[in-house]
Structure formats: C-alpha cells, structure tokens
Amino acid sequence: MEINDLKPRKPYDKKDYIQIICACLWAIGLCLIWPLTNMPGAGISALFLITLGAVCFITPAKRSLEEKFLAVSLIAMSLWFLVFTNNRMRFINIPFTAFLMLLFMLLRTDFIQRGALSLSGVKKALRFVFPAAFTRMDAPFRMIKKSRQTHAALIGFLLSLPLMLIVLNLLSNADEVFSGMLTRAVDFISSLTSFEGILRLHFAVLVFLLSASLLQSASRGLRRPLREGSSHECPVITMFIPIFFINITYAIFISIQFLYLFGGREAAMMTGGYAQYARKGFFELAAVCMINLFLTQAVLSLTRYHKIIRIMSALTLVSTLILLISASIRMGLYISEYALSFLRLLTLWGILMMGVFTVISLIKIIRPDKKFFSLAITIAIITWMAFSWMNADGVIASVNMNRFANVSVKTVDTDYLSRLSPDAIPSLEKYENTPEVQTAIEAIKKEYASMHPFEWGFMQLNTK
C-alpha cells in the first residue's frame, strides 16, 4: 500500500479513542511547560513511552529488523529525557524522537511497507506530515457526535466532580506534600484566566487537534491522495558546467589550505594566529560541505548518473573530504584556544556525520545500483543516540576543568560553567575545592532548584 492509498471508512472503535487520549496527553503535557523555558524531562519520557505503547497496541507488528531497530531507538531516546536535564539537548531530541516515532508508526500502518530508513521512506514521511496534521482535525468532534456513550460519559464526569472534591480535601489534610501539589495545581488552573493562560489553552487545543489528526491519518489514511513526484532528466552539459567551475574553485582553495592551515604554526600566525584563522572560516566551510552533498546528489539524480557527471561529482566529494579535514582542524584549534562548549561539541558530531555521508556518497557513485542511504541514516541515528547518552554537559565540564588543572590555561570560564545543566555537577564536584568551580555549582543548583517535577531528570534529582 502506497502513501497515496485511501483506506475505506470504518466505524470508530477503541483504537481511535486510544489515539485521542494520546493526543490529550500531549496537549496537557506541553501546556504544563509553556512557554518552553525549561524543556520537559520525566513528563516527556512518559508521553513518548505511552505513545509508543499505544502505537504498538493499535497496529499489527511486522517483526522486521527495521521495526525492531526503530523500537529500540525510541525506547532509548524516550528514557534519555528521564536521565538528563540538558535543555539544549532536550530541544533537539524532542523533534528527533518524534520523527523516529513517525517512521515507526508509518511502518506499522503500511504507509511505508519497507525501507522506512531509506531515502524514499524518509521522503514519504516528510510529505505525509503536513497534510496529515490538518486533514483530520475534525476527528475528535466526529467521534463525540457519533458515539453512543457520549451522554453517559458526561454524566459520569458530573458524578465524579463532588466525589473528587471530597476525596481531594481529605487527602490534602492528611499529607502536606500532597497538599502542596494540590495547591500548585489550583494556582495553575487559576493562572489560565490570565493572558498567558489563554495562550496556553489555545496552544493546548492546537497541539491536541494536530496530534489527533496525525494519528488518525496514519491509521485511517489521508482524505486526499498525495501526488507522486515526477522524475526529470536534465541535459548533461547543463549540470556539467556549474560543477566544473565549482571544482576549479575548490582546487584553488584547497591549495591555500595546504599552504596556510596545513603548513604549520608560522603560516597561520601571518593571519593573526591559529585561533583567529580557525574562527574566521569554520562555519563557512561547514556550510560549503553541506552544499556539496546536496549539489552532487541533485546533479547525479537529474542526469541519471551519467559517467562524466559521476567523475565530476567524485572530484567534488573528494574536495569536500579535504574541506572537512580543514574544518575539523580549525575547530580543534578553536577549542584549544577558547575551551569546549556545547555548540563546538555539537559541531564535531556534525563534521563526523558529513564525513560519513560524503564517503557513502562516493561509494554510491562507484556503485550506483546499490542503495546506501539506509546505512547512512542508521549510522546517524546510532551516533546521535551515543552523543545524547554521553552526557554532553558532563563532558564539557570535564574537558574544560582538565585544561585548567593541567595548567594549560590560567583561568576557567566560570560564567559558562554556571550556565550548564545539573548533568555537569558530578564532573565539577571533582574540582569543588576550586572557588570558581564551587561558585558554578551553587549557581547551577540555584537555577534548577525550582524545577517542576514534570521537568525533572535523574541527574537533577541526584544533585538536589
């Protein structure tokens, strides 16, 4: 079954109601942590695991290796939020885990019969998301209208209100901790009458409708079929001219790299020092490498892997590898001068991934009849999970403090250390006798002392 196939209409059943419950949980959860100043921790773990369980319950298992890999990856990434409190990593891992969930769901519902990690599978998933998020936004209202149990459920809710008021009052008088939680809940409900509260409610309703539509579209199909993309073929000369001139430009640039960056410290000092030389060009080189990857894939597909285009693309990719080596050296010089930060650590992972994709693209040029995109995506997922679980803030704190302890630098950036998450505290405590480190630890604990339980991670609980 292709992604464009429409599934026949069928009555709403318990599987549809489970999807609506999952959408409600996501709406409530994201509403609680509005406006996303502290990305959620334990709460998001619970939401992802509940959604994974719901998808497994309402869809038949395929028992393929790809499905098992996605399931294990989803469990690992869902539990990550429970362990760490790095808000920057949480901000990245939420959409990353959500996309893995989408691939898993589409694989289980036969929208992607096989090859969810292939280029065609990823394209289908991306093309599915936007229409699926809007095409069935009316599903919850249709379910309420057609359900025979709606009036009975409303009566049940009305009967539960006085009973819950009595029970909550008794329990709050019996336990102070529970009473405090109940007071915060009442304060939260009261805050919904403010302007920010109204924004929260609108945000929650939007998340609910989008999530419900997405889940319903995955299980019941899109109401309007998607048009299949048509393949075009360009004249070889049209693609040859731009890639030829780009290769000439890279040849000149690479010769400069060998003269200055690879030529020794004396050559770099002519431009103001290693760190200054590295700082000026790194991000530009990284952008050029990304352009090269997209460019070579585009010209190869548009010319159906013509021989001369394959040769020119191979030269471009070889140049890309040299540029990546130059970029990694620049970043290494920059780190040695200005210490390690989250962005610099993330950049090192990005360089590694661009190198992997470049090498795989070169192999694809040699063997165009083989499909290697699944291998590249699998490597990217595995390495990103490893990057997430290695505790980025802890690594940053350890590296920077080791530089300070080994007297390679005279000062440590206390201001940056104090802005790390509690994940860094175990690494910093090894140097707690240093006044600057003690100040950073106290600042971190103060910053995260008021975290809501929904936002907790295991590392944060261990540092209270």
pLDDT for the residue 220: 73
pLDDT for the residue 269: 45
pLDDT for the residue 265: 46
| pLDDT tens track, the chain, 464 positions | 444 444 445 566 677 777 888 888 878 777 766 655 555 567 788 888 888 988 888 888 877 888 899 999 999 999 998 888 888 888 889 889 989 998 898 888 878 877 778 877 888 888 888 888 887 877 777 766 655 565 666 677 677 777 777 877 777 777 776 777 777 667 766 666 667 677 777 778 888 888 888 888 877 766 565 555 555 667 888 888 888 888 888 888 887 767 655 544 444 444 444 445 555 556 676 778 778 888 888 888 778 778 888 888 888 888 888 888 877 877 887 787 778 888 888 888 988 888 898 898 888 888 887 777 888 889 999 999 999 999 998 899 888 888 777 766 667 777 888 888 888 888 888 877 777 788 888 888 777 765 554 444 444 444 44
pLDDT for the residue 71: 92
> Look-up: residue for tokens 């991000």?
283
What Cα–Cα distance (Å) separates residue 216 from each residue in 14, 31, 97, 194? 13, 22, 19, 33
pLDDT for the residue 150: 59
Look up the pTM and report it.
0.77
pLDDT for the residue 69: 93
Peptide bond into 368 cis (omega under 30): no
pLDDT for the residue 149: 60
C-alpha to C-alpha distance for 430 and 398, rounded to whole angstroms: 9
